[in-house]
């Protein structure tokens, strides 16, 4: 991301994307399949974003941990209109509590970044991606904001795919690099392939997985492969949603395949 770009209005984007999400689902049959979320219908998607926004609003407002907030989660209503009202209330409450709380304020998150600022950013992108899901469900896809999308690419790469936990080790594969370029905003990311190994102390699961590392800023050196597309298309592609346009790939096929293996598990 460009260090000189003005700060994103994350709360404004959260409000806009949340409203567009609801507007799209209002156009879809309640039982319509969500093509980008296998096994879900429109009602499932509406409940999902509603409970996510309820959860984070509760965490910030009440100063709770995940388990404490989960213990308070209401049951899903059976009627669509009640789910729709739950979503509207949760979305409004989340926006209000985030606006009333300083971004540097401490809050529980699943990340090493334990601040409200992390939640502001994460929820703006959660709403954006699920707005796309809603529009795909309704058959009414509309454009994505390029700067918000570029920040979404940055978040997906650095937070969702890279950033190995401290109980494991990332081993770089020198010379296996990818430059990812957003053709419309000019943002770019320099990626080095590698492997993550370690044992999760919570589950005792042993990991030996394809992984990536993202440079703090693009060093400007040659990469062995390149991936180019609009910021919106790259953001959708990284989230395993269908891009509206084309993603161009060039360079070493083995490196491109290695990168796609690293992102193949998707983002939960």
- Please answer whether residues 210 and 164 qualify as being in contact, where contact means their C-beta atoms are separated by less than 8 angstroms: no
Query: Which fold would CATH assign to domain 10-142?
Result: 1.20.120
pLDDT digits (tens, 9 = 90+) for 61-83: 999 999 999 999 999 999 999 99
Q: Quick one: pLDDT band at residue 159, thresholds 50, 70, 90?
A: very high
Q: Radius of gyration (Cα) for the chain, nearest Å?
A: 19
Provide the percentage of residues in the chain whose pLDDT is more than 70.
98
Q: Which residue has the tokens 């978040």?
A: 155
Residue-averaged pLDDT of the chain: 95
pLDDT digits (tens, 9 = 90+) for 230-266: 999 999 999 999 999 999 999 999 999 999 999 999 9
Q: Quick one: pLDDT band at residue 268, thresholds 50, 70, 90?
A: confident
Q: Of the CATH numbers 3.10.450, 2.30.300, 3.30.1050, 1.10.8, which one belongs to the domain with range 147-263?
A: 3.30.1050
The pLDDT assigned to 148 comes to: 98
Here the tokens at position 145 are 């904001």
3-state secondary structure of 132: helix
The pLDDT assigned to 163 comes to: 81
DSSP state of 263: H
Q: Which of 232, 218, 140 is nearest to 180 (CA)?
A: 218
Question: 90-94, 114-118, 161-165: lowest mean pLDDT where?
Answer: 161-165
pLDDT digits (tens, 9 = 90+) for 27-65: 999 999 999 999 999 999 999 999 999 999 999 999 999
Q: Quick one: pLDDT band at residue 11, thresholds 50, 70, 90?
A: very high
pTM of full prediction above 0.75 = yes
* d(C-alpha 76, C-alpha 87), whole Å: 11
* d(C-alpha 156, C-alpha 60), whole Å: 23
* d(C-alpha 225, C-alpha 170), whole Å: 21
Mean pLDDT of 168-175: 93
The pLDDT assigned to 166 comes to: 87
63 phi-psi bin (left φ>0, alpha ψ -120 to 50, beta other): left
Domain boundaries, the chain: 10-142, 147-263
Three-state SS for 25-87 is HHCCCCCCECCCCCCCEHHHHHHHHHHHHHHHHHHHHHCCCHHHHHCCCCCCCCCHHHHHHHH
Helix (H) or strand (E) holding 231: helix 231-238
């Amino acid at each position: 991301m460009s260090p000189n770009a003005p700060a994103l209005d994350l709360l404004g984007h959260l409000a806009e994307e949340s409203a567009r999400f609801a507007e799209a689902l209002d156009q879809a049959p309640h039982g319509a399949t969500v093509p980008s979320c296998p096994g879900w219908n429109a009602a499932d998607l509406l409940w999902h974003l509603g409970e996510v926004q309820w959860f984070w609003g509760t965490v910030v407002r009440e100063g709770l941990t995940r388990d404490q907030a989960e213990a308070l989660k209401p049951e899903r209503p059976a009627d669509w209109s009640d789910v729709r009202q739950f979503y509207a209330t949760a979305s409004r409450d989340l926006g209000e509590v985030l606006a009333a709380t300083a971004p540097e304020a401490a809050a529980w998150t699943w990340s090493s970044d334990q601040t409200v600022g992390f939640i502001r950013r994460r929820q703006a992108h959660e709403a954006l991606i699920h707005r796309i899901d809603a529009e795909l469900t309704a058959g009414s896809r509309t454009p994505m904001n390029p700067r918000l999308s570029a920040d979404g690419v940055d978040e997906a790469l650095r937070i969702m795919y890279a950033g190995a936990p401290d109980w494991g080790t990332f081993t770089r594969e020198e010379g296996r690099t990818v430059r990812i370029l957003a053709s419309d905003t000019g943002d770019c990311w320099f990626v080095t392939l590698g492997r993550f190994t370690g044992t999760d102390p919570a589950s005792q699961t042993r990991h030996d997985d394809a992984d990536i590392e993202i440079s703090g800023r693009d060093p400007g050196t040659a990469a062995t492969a390149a991936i180019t597309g609009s910021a919106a298309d790259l953001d959708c592609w990284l989230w395993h949603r269908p891009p509206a346009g084309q993603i161009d790939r060039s360079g070493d096929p083995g490196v491109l395949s290695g990168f796609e293996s690293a992102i193949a598990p998707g983002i939960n």
